[in-house]
Structures are given as C-alpha cells and as structure tokens.
Amino acid sequence: MADNKLTLLKAPIIEAVLDIDCDMPPGKEISTLEPAAHEKLRPQYPKVRRIFVQTHQIETPPGEAPKVKLHQAVHGLQFLSEDEKQLVQFRAQGFSFNRLAHYTSLDDYLPEIERTWQIFVAVAGPVQIRSVRLRYINRIMLPMPEKSPLQLEEYLKVCPRLPDEGNLTFTGFLNQHTAIENETGNQVHIVLTNQPQENNMLPLILDITAENNALAEVENWPCLLARIQALRDLKNRVFRNTLTDKCLNQFQQP
C-alpha cells in the first residue's frame, strides 16, 4: 500500500482529533466567544458544552465542619453534533475537530474541517498557528487463545517484552515512544496500552499523534491542508508498521 493510502474496510479508529494550536489575541476570554460561535455552528452543532478548570478547596478548621469551596474558569467551548459523534472545540489554545466512531476517511471530513476552522478564525481572531496535531486513537481487539498465553508479536511488530518471559506473564502494559521524522521534522507520539480483557478478547489501544510545530499563517488554508495531509501520511506509516499483516487483515474483513 502507498504511504498515503490506507484503506481499511473496518478501521479500528475510535476517535480522530485535529488540533490546531494558535497564538490567540491578547485580552480575549474564550467564554465571550460562545454566542458568536454558536450562531454560526448551530445548524450542524446544536449542543454546546463549556470546558472548565476547577479547583476544590476543602478547609477543615479545628472543631468545625469542613468547608468546601469551588473555583472554576472556562477553558474552552465544545460544539457537538446532535448524535455527539462530531465536535468542534474552541479552546484557549486554539481549535480542535473531533470525529468519533463510525469514522470513514479524513478526506470525507476535510471540507467540514475547513469550514469550521474558518469560523474559528473569524470569531476568535487567532494571530498565528503554532502547531498542528493529528491524533488517531485505535482500539484493536485481539483474540485470546484458549489454552496458551496471547503472543503479542503475532499482532504487533513493535511490541512490549518482558524480561524472563518463561516465568512472567503480562497483566498490563504502557509503551510510549516519541520520534521525529528526519525528512520533514514532523514528530510522532505513539502510545500502546491495553484495556481489561472483555470475554475472550484483549482490547489494545494504539494512540498515534503526528505533530508539526512550524509557525504558519491562519489565512493560508492550502498550506494548512498540506500539513494535515503530511501528518496523515506519517500516521498511516506508523500504523502500518506497528501492526503485523495478521493484525491488519482483521480490518479488511467486513
């Protein structure tokens, strides 16, 4: 398969996120953008949620009942589709577009990404782009053999190993790698971990984030698009080279 073409009949993507971090204009509070943003986004994203940062302060004066105080500040706005499978986020740091399962292809979502990004630019007035991140969270179900331990290397080209494998058995793992692509300077963060066993299946989470940290102009959509596509290529390459053919073939079965 070519690097930029990875077509799977049943892709294991749980969530795809595009983050565009920006320098925001000084003095602008994200919470004040809600009315203008929702007016433009409401037809496709009728639901709004605020993202808060909260601190809970518990004071225990001697001889008195504990006192609890809550302090909170708005850190971002989420605009959700009716079925809550697609989100646009206006964050204090920039813009995000989230697509949850069922996910088809990035090409299917790019027009909507462009449209909602332009709304963000118009409403929030970002000064410049600082970084672009493309994150794909995959959930891969591995069948547990009945009478022997699961051999991860049958499914993963890059897999966790244990010292003294004859006497130790995995009960859980978390692998995290960060790398830079020599030719482009793009970075990739790969997290591999497991969830608790479900019936006879082991859910594996393969979380790949491809990132570009070059400055860019907010008005230049073609440049931004090219960047997104380069990150997609990197992500696809990492995905394909993390999993064995036996694993990849699972996703070609309808």
**Interface residue list for another protein (CB under 8 A):** 14-15, 17, 19, 21, 23-24, 26-27, 53-55, 57, 59, 69, 71-73, 75, 78, 87, 89, 91-93, 96, 98, 100, 130-131, 135, 137, 139, 174, 176, 191, 193, 195, 205, 207
Q: Cβ closer to another protein: 60 or 167?
A: 60
Q: Cβ closer to another protein: 40 or 130?
A: 130
Q: Cβ closer to another protein: 92 or 144?
A: 92
Q: Cβ closer to another protein: 120 or 146?
A: 120
Least distance from another protein to the Cβ atom of residue 102, Å: 13
- Give the dihedral of Cα atoms 165, 166, 169, 175; nearest 10 deg: 0
Q: Cβ closer to another protein: 139 or 240?
A: 139
- φ/ψ region of 168 (left if φ > 0, alpha if ψ in -120 to 50, else beta) reads beta
Q: Cβ closer to another protein: 2 or 65?
A: 65
Euclidean distance between CA atoms 253 and 16, whole angstroms: 21
Least distance from another protein to the Cβ atom of residue 126, Å: 12
Least distance from another protein to the Cβ atom of residue 147, Å: 28
Euclidean distance between CA atoms 252 and 149, whole angstroms: 25
